Amino acid sequence: MKVVIVGGVAGGATAAARIRRLDEQAAIVVFERSGFISYANCGLPYYIGGVIEDPEELTLQTPESFFSRFRVAMRVRHEVTAIHPDKKTVSVTNLETGEEFEEGYDKLLLSPGAKPTQPRLPGVGLDRLFTLRTVEDTFRIKEFIDRNHPKSAVLAGGGFISLELAENLRKLGMEVTIVQRPKQLMNPFDPDMAAFIHSKMRRHGVGLALGHTVEGFEEKNGGVDVLLKDEMPLHADMVVLAIGVSPDTGLAKDAGLELGIKGSIVVNDRMETSVSDIYAVGDAVQVKHFVTGQDVLLSLAGPANKQGRIAADNICGGDSRYTGSQGSSVVKVFDMTAASTGVNETNAKKAGLDVDTVIHSPMSHAGYYPGGKLMTMKVVFEKETYRLLGAQIVGYEGVDKRIDVLATAIRAGMKATELKDLDLAYAPPYSSAKDPVNMAGFMIENIANGVLKQWHLADVDTLPRDGSVTLLDTRTVGEFDGGHIDGFLNIPVDELRERLGKLDKSKPVYVICQSGLRSYIACRILAGNGFECYNFSGGFRFYDAVMHDRCLIESATACGMDK
């Protein structure tokens, strides 16, 4: 059996190694357009910033090392220019020599990946305009910085690469501004959770121009003007386009393979395309979302590696299945960590799901052990069924392990109420006896049992201010004086029992505190005394962070704050 693989990196290289492990006699040829067959995409920004000093650390395998171990012919700087399914051959161009030839196959695996989205805008192609996707892109940016010592950069786009690059350019002393059309960074997060990411970026000197449309680029004063719709241009010494990626599927289209979202390759759960003996994996393929069942594109290394292994199994006569992607991801934001899995509240509602959420702010480990830090956790679940749909966490230590627990729970089909039952490791330096994941489960169980009724951030503007409800803030007087929502009465929770006579039992009570705990206790006191009570999800800390962020995005002048 002869297997030809188009593209290395995650999916292609993984498949090649797996095929060899399953079939020692197979002939395996990999054609890779770039000069690198297996490299760490996610590490590229850290090389630019000097965190990774040796460029060889970016290369996971070389053609020589791969051949030595697996006897796989790695043909770098070779571009496949056409697929001929009828003849079961591919046309190849040696980019070093210009030689053109055809290569036959029994099985063909496409792992072309995705390419940076290049908007058709005036000025695209300027020397000081970059994209960051490959090792070659990285070296080009690094060389430009080392040679020209730019003092400022504009990053167009607000995803993973943009955040990581912003941090690394700031470490080099550059002024950095991120500009993009959506009014938030990091689409896997809901806007309320993204507010914490925005705050961290601003605190580290990254300018955020959110909700602005880029209309073009112009060379000016030795740099680049980024032209914005209805706004003054942003000027910088260099610009990096990080507005997303598009499936690199020109070959598949020309060969007549069925295409899906944004021209991606349609595959079944065996990673088979619509054409016999042709498989496809990675960023170029359309997959099912594990939670919603909808067709999606998810450009992440983990799924690409899994798909490469599954395709290899099936090429070698097995029957492996890809059960879908759930988008588990984590990103370093300076000294903070942000992570998500499953679907967020926004996308769950777009998918037609009837959802609810809980938001809480636990410590990373036991409060009495030094060094604990707050994290903010949002868990999304389906009403009525309590199916666990997704989670987002922003914080410091311990964020990554909690998101992995929640990702596993989603994959296992657990209900959100069952999070309370997870038996998780505890020692004071690492966690609390009631782990933050358990705490989310307790909260959701309380909702299921009618013990907890919530009101949310979206309800703030619609709460009656005509006296028909009681608005109650149960923080201390000092906390209340430091900032509160207009119209709320302040009764500290520890004084509530003695002051119940001041409240009207005929009116529902909407309660808030700093994090949600004291207001929950207040609700139990009120409910035990015949009141109808609703607890604010997230607490005033959450409310203040989100509203402050919205204020900065919408109107810096009206808020009296700088962006």
Task: Pick the closest to residue 394 from 161, 168, 198 (CA basis).
Answer: 198
- What do you get for the CA distance between the two ends of the chain, in Å? 60
Q: Crossing angle for the helix pair 9-22 and 301-315, nearest 10 degrees?
A: 30
Task: Report CA-CA distances (Å) from 311 to 12, 14, 320, 325.
Answer: 10, 10, 8, 15
Residues contacting residue 81 through CB under 8 Å, at least 6 positions apart = 91, 92, 93, 100, 251
Task: Report CA-CA distances (Å) from 500 to 491, 513, 530.
Answer: 10, 17, 11
Measured between alpha carbons, how far is 370 from 505 in angstroms, rounded to an integer? 43
For 317-367, where are the E strands, in sequence order? 329-333, 336-342, 355-360
Task: Pick the closest to residue 109 from 218, 215, 252 (CA basis).
Answer: 252
Angle at 453 between CA 452 and CA 459, to 5 degrees: 145
Measured between alpha carbons, how far is 211 from 225 in angstroms, rounded to an integer? 18
State the catalytic residues: 42
For 345, the enclosing helix (H) or strand (E) is helix 345-350
Residue with tokens 């989100």: 546
Rg of the chain (C-alpha set): 27
Reduced to 3 states (helix: H, G, I; strand: E, B; else coil), residue 465 is: coil
For 492-538, where are the E strands, in sequence order? 509-512, 533-536
Residue with tokens 């009681």: 470
Q: 292: left (phi > 0), else alpha (psi -120 to 50), else beta?
A: alpha
- The count of other CB atoms within 10 Å of the CB of residue 24 is 9
